[in-house]
């Protein structure tokens, strides 16, 4: 069973929602960040990046204190307001290609620790510790963990019916998205949603492994305090069929001392290598890889030569590329920290890979076929970990839209 709770959210004043909310901080270039901070005094960026305007370099603890102070200032000026009663929230993101709709709720730390909320990615200890300290000092979080639940006709029908009512917020953003938010605060609806999720044996983290791990670490550190909010972390719960999964493509700076011909011969030990010349070719199914090298595209078709039954992990395309190419041929051991490898999300065009290789910054690029939700769930169910940068998953949440206080 999965336990979810409503909570008293802190939100932008309705007339300021479009001005307050922003993309995730790390999605802005320095020039964009500076422009938004100068142009928009209501942006949540003023809270999460309080020292940027003066280009200050400050200690981490002082920066967290500045974040908290700016947050309190926004509340004092009623740019941000606190709901009077606990609620769930229905949130929709609509872009040119897709509509994402999910439920914002508090999810149980104990469910996470007992593996009822399953993971498929590893975490870095220093990042978990850093965000735990951030939560401890600022006492709020505005970045929910993206969690999937099994598709269900009853939930789907309820969501569609709820969306026919007037949203609490509805606004457009410069990246051509329309954001809508409905408050779910009637006791009947709250009870119904809680009862529904109690029948679900497992939920699956799609995005936000570090955030959930940090919330769990904070709970372990501070659970002696009389703060019930510490027992939960904010999540965006979305049906499995409603997430969009992209691949992460790989760019490598050199061929590890091999000539081009020698490299191609090494690839033939595990792949059928098919020249595609100038065709902008990308994989169309699992087990296929695209490659761009020296101005030409290639199709690489994986040929398994193992007689043992492959596990869900060894059959994962990102793992195959690592096991057969990146580690043994190109000498890349650490996918997180090796400076010879970079990543490009599948949202970007193949032309971006061409440009980076043709510029001389990289020697070769690899295109992967995206994983699907069933692969992710199978990895999580087997308590296995996907290679770093295996998936880029949407939707992405707007910072400052809903705040969970600790």
- Give the tokens for residue 248: 């992460």
Domain extents in the chain: 4-244+394-405, 245-391
Using CB atoms within 10 A of its CB, is residue 107 exposed (0-12), middle (13-18) or buried (19+)? buried
Tens digits of pLDDT across the chain (406 residues): 899 999 999 999 999 999 999 988 888 888 888 888 889 999 999 998 865 444 455 678 888 999 999 999 999 999 999 999 999 999 999 999 899 999 999 999 999 999 999 999 999 999 999 999 999 999 999 999 999 999 999 999 999 999 999 999 999 998 889 999 999 999 999 999 999 999 999 999 999 999 999 999 999 999 999 999 999 999 999 999 999 999 999 999 999 999 999 999 999 999 999 999 999 999 999 999 999 999 999 999 999 765 555 789 999 999 999 999 999 999 999 999 999 999 999 999 999 999 999 999 999 999 999 999 999 999 999 999 999 999 999 999 999 999 999 9
**Cα 212 to Cα 90: distance, rounded to the nearest angstrom:** 21
Residue-level length of the chain = 406
Using CB atoms within 10 A of its CB, is residue 103 exposed (0-12), middle (13-18) or buried (19+)? buried
Closest CA to 208 of 137, 138, 136, 148: 148
- Give the tokens for residue 376: 């992710």
CATH architecture of the domain 245-391 equals 2-Layer Sandwich (3.30)
**Cα 317 to Cα 310: distance, rounded to the nearest angstrom:** 12
Tell me how far CA of residue 29 lies from CA of 10, 67, 229, in angstroms.
27, 20, 34
**Cα 351 to Cα 257: distance, rounded to the nearest angstrom:** 26
**What is the chain's alpha carbon radius of gyration, rounded to the nearest angstrom?**
23
Contact indicator for 246, 346 with CB cutoff of 8 Å? yes
Please confirm whether the linkage preceding 211 is cis (ω < 30° from 0): no
Q: What pLDDT shows up at residue 93? A: 97
Q: How far apart are the first and last CA of the chain?
A: 24
Contact indicator for 205, 118 with CB cutoff of 8 Å? yes
- Give the tokens for residue 56: 């200050």
């Amino acid at each position: 069973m999965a336990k979810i709770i409503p909570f008293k959210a802190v939100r932008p004043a309705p007339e300021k929602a479009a001005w307050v909310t922003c993309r995730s901080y790390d999605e802005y270039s320095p020039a964009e960040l500076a422009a938004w901070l100068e142009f928009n005094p209501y942006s949540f960026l003023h809270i999460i990046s309080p020292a940027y305007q003066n280009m200050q370099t400050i200690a981490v603890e002082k920066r967290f204190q500045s974040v908290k102070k700016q947050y309190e200032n926004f509340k004092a000026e009623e740019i941000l307001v606190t709901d009077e009663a606990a609620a769930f929230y229905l949130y929709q993101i609509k872009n040119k290609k897709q509509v994402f709709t999910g439920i914002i709720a508090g999810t149980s730390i104990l469910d996470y620790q007992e593996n009822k909320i399953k993971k498929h990615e590893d975490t870095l200890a220093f990042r978990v510790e850093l965000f735990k300290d951030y939560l401890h000092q600022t006492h709020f979080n505005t970045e929910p963990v993206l969690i999937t639940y099994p598709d269900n006709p009853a939930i789907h029908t309820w969501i569609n019916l709820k969306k026919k009512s007037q949203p609490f917020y509805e606004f457009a953003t410069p990246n051509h998205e329309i954001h809508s938010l409905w408050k779910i605060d009637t006791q009947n609806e709250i009870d119904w949603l809680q009862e529904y999720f109690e029948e679900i044996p497992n939920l699956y983290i799609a995005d936000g492994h570090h955030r959930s791990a940090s919330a769990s670490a904070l709970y372990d550190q501070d659970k002696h305090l009389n703060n019930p909010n510490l027992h939960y972390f904010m999540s965006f719960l979305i049906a499995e069929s409603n997430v969009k999964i992209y691949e992460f493509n790989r760019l490598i700076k050199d061929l590890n001392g091999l000539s081009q011909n020698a490299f191609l011969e090494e690839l033939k030990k595990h792949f059928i290598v098919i020249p595609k010349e100038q065709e902008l070719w990308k994989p169309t199914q699992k087990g296929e890889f695209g490659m761009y090298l020296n101005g030409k595209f290639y199709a690489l078709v994986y040929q398994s030569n193992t007689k043992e039954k492959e596990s869900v992990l060894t059959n994962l395309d990102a793992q195959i590329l690592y096991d057969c190419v990146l580690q043994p041929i190109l000498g890349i051991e650490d996918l997180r920290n090796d400076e010879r490898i970079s990543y490009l999300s599948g949202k970007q065009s193949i032309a971006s890979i061409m440009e980076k290789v043709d510029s001389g910054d990289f020697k070769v690029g690899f295109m992967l076929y995206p994983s699907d939700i069933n692969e992710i769930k199978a990895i999580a169910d087997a308590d296995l970990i996907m290679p770093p940068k295996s998936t880029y998953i949407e939707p992405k949440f707007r910072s400052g839209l809903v705040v969970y206080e600790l």
